[in-house]
């Protein structure tokens, strides 16, 4: 993958907050009660194609809101009344409107979902002349502004310096689910390890079944199909500034078939209009081909959906005694994410002769992974692969999000049959370490796989719960550091640094909490919402901002080579642009 230009364009990913222009701001009047009512007279396919083109422009241009505006008005909304363009120019001259976005994939997918739920097929009377096309563009543009109003104005801005406000805001933005950079390195490595895990545990036959089901030569080609689609869309856009949003290749369609939403094949009652339902089916079939609803969802297809469809299309259930999907997820969580990928990464990284690694297999009282450096610094690590339900994210349900955190990361055993989870597991494991020694600096860590835990304030929320239950044990050691939540992807993206610098993990954790404490104090003192936001960054976001990885090939080639994926990595490098 050395020659793929989108990697250099992926830039050093840092978190951004942007303002969004809505109906009230644009027209200075109340938005329509129903944002799609005026669109129901049009064939759904026509509307979805136009919106897919916008999302492709957003994804492929990789530009500022003004750059996205330029191409969207040039290619999609190019026949509207002149007054609309004049009004936009005036708004762009104001301080508030200068950098505000009009077109965001999050809101557009929400609009798509509402339209698909009210699917209206094309009929013989559908003929749109030039005047009718101008009206269609006007009404769709108004719907985009109205959905912005509906989508983004659900937050209560009364208390900007609160964790709940941060959660609401970031659940809207969905930045955590739209990290396209992961498609080029992280997800490739995870997919390679997943196929190896399945082959070792269940045999090569299942891998062949999976490849046959998708019509590819090997399971690794399944991943390359998605990557090549993205590369082609990027490079094509660079060449002629025309967005690629349709798939017309029959072979590619066959591979993508399970991920295509066909409105003519699904009863209308089966789709409720929830945008999260499109994450696993981000392709839309229409009469002339297949449209890509949102390229950002490709990351999910090469990650979460890959695991799901392996269960669905192979004989795993029939020949290996797995009763249901929940049991399968339990196996993936415990044996793949915890014992296979995370532990293997840790063993490859901490190889110094004075580093020791233990697991709960060595002693049931130990955590999932225990790392001891120089008999002084001890990392007590629990690995959690819990997934949040899509409706919580789709509805920006902060109450449901908080309950998810309690249920999976801060739950104490109270009845027979229950288990301690998260911070309560760490507390018991830290107490057990007293029998091993007391001259330790303890670093409690939860490694997670759920992307939404990247949002700001989650680490603070769980650390406060942890601090309240560990107070009595602090005097038993030199120091018990604050709780740190670390995304599994950290160990892949920062693999070279972790390998070359022995105390990289310890030093970055210490730096993160020192900066967090300082910025939080400053934010509250000055009542500064932006400083409060950055102070509440997750560890992963802090790393992305402070230590950007740049080109994903910087870490992918090293970690792939160390794990023996030389041949598969060559397949990635051979992708053309």
Check if the beta carbon of residue 368 is closer than 8 Å to that of residue 383. yes
Tens-of-pLDDT digits for all 577 residues of the chain? Answer: 333 333 333 444 455 566 788 999 999 999 888 989 999 999 999 999 999 999 988 887 766 777 888 899 999 999 999 999 999 999 988 888 888 889 999 899 999 999 999 998 888 776 777 778 899 999 999 999 999 988 888 766 677 889 999 999 888 888 887 777 777 788 889 989 999 999 999 999 999 998 888 888 888 887 777 777 777 776 766 667 777 778 777 767 777 788 888 888 866 556 777 887 788 788 898 888 888 898 887 777 767 778 888 888 899 888 888 888 889 998 998 899 988 999 999 999 999 999 999 999 999 999 999 999 998 999 999 999 998 988 898 888 999 999 999 999 999 888 777 788 999 999 999 999 998 888 999 999 999 999 999 999 999 999 999 999 999 999 999 999 999 999 999 999 999 999 999 999 999 999 999 999 999 999 999 999 889 999 999 999 999 999 998 888 888 889 999 999 866 655 555 543 3
Beta bridge partners, 260, equal 283
Check if the beta carbon of residue 547 is closer than 8 Å to that of residue 462. no
Cα gap 110→272, rounded to integer Å: 12
Which helix (H) or strand (E) segment holds residue 442: the answer is strand 441-448
- Mapping DSSP onto H, E and C, the string for 349-417 reads HCCCCCEEEEECCCCCCCCCEEEEECCCEEEEEEEECCCCCHHHHHCCCHHHHHHHHHHHHCCCCCCCC
Give the contacts of 143 (CB within 8 A, at least 6 positions apart).
35, 36, 38, 39, 111
């Amino acid at each position: 993958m050395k020659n793929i230009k989108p990697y250099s364009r992926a830039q050093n990913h840092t978190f951004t907050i942007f303002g969004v222009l809505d109906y009230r701001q644009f027209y200075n009047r109340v938005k329509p009660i129903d944002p799609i009512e005026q669109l129901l007279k049009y064939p759904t396919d026509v509307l979805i194609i136009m919106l897919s083109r916008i999302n492709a422009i957003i994804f492929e241009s990789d530009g500022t809101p003004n750059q996205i505006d330029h191409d969207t008005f040039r290619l999609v909304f190019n026949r509207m009344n002149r007054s609309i363009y004049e009004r936009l120019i005036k708004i762009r001259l104001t301080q508030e409107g200068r950098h505000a976005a009009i077109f965001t994939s999050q809101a557009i997918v929400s609009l798509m979902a509402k339209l698909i739920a009210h699917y209206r097929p094309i009929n013989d009377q559908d003929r749109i002349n030039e005047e009718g096309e101008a009206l269609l563009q006007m009404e769709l543009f108004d719907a985009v502004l109205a959905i912005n109003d509906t989508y983004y104005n659900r937050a209560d801005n009364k208390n900007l310096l609160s964790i709940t406000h941060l959660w609401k805001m970031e659940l809207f933005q969905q930045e955590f689910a739209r990290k396209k950079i992961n498609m080029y390195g992280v997800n490739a490595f995870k997919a390679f390890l997943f196929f190896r895990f399945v082959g070792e545990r269940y045999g090569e036959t299942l891998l062949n079944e999976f490849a046959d089901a998708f019509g590819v030569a090997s399971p690794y080609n399944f991943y390359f199909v998605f990557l090549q689609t993205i590369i082609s869309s990027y490079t094509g856009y660079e060449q002629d500034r025309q967005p690629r949003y349709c798939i017309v290749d029959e072979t590619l369609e066959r591979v993508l078939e399970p991920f295509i939403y066909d409105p003519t094949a699904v009863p209308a009652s089966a789709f409720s209009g929830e945008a999260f339902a499109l994450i696993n089916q981000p392709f839309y079939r229409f009469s002339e081909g297949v449209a890509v609803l949102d390229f950002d969802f490709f990351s999910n297809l090469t990650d979460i959906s890959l695991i799901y469809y392996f269960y669905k299309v192979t004989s795993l259930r029939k020949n290996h005694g797995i009763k249901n999907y929940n049991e399968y997820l339990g196996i993936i969580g415990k044996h793949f994410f915890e014992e296979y990928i995370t532990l293997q990464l840790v063993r490859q990284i901490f190889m110094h002769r004075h580093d020791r690694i233990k697991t709960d297999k060595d002693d049931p009282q130990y955590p999932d992974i225990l790392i001891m450096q120089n008999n002084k610094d001890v990392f007590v690590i629990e690995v959690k692969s819990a997934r949040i339900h899509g409706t919580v994210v789709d509805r920006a349900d902060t109450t449901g999000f908080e309950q998810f955190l309690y249920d999976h990361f801060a739950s104490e055993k109270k009845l027979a049959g229950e288990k301690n989870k998260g911070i309560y597991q760490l507390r018991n494991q830290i107490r057990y370490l007293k029998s091993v020694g007391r001259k330790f600096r303890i670093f409690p860590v939860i490694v997670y796989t759920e992307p939404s835990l990247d949002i700001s304030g989650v680490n603070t929320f769980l650390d406060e719960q942890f601090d309240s239950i560990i107070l009595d044990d602090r005097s038993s050691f030199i120091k018990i550091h604050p709780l740190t939540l670390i995304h599994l992807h950290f160990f892949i993206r920062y693999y070279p640094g972790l390998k070359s610098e022995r105390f990289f993990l310890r030093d970055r954790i210490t730096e993160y909490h020192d900066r967090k404490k300082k910025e939080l104090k400053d934010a509250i003192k000055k009542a500064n919402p932006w400083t409060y936001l950055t102070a509440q960054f997750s560890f992963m976001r802090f790393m992305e901002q402070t230590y950007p990885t740049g080109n994903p090939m910087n870490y992918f080639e090293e970690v792939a080579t160390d794990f023996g994926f030389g041949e598969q990595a060559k397949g990635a490098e051979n992708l053309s642009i």
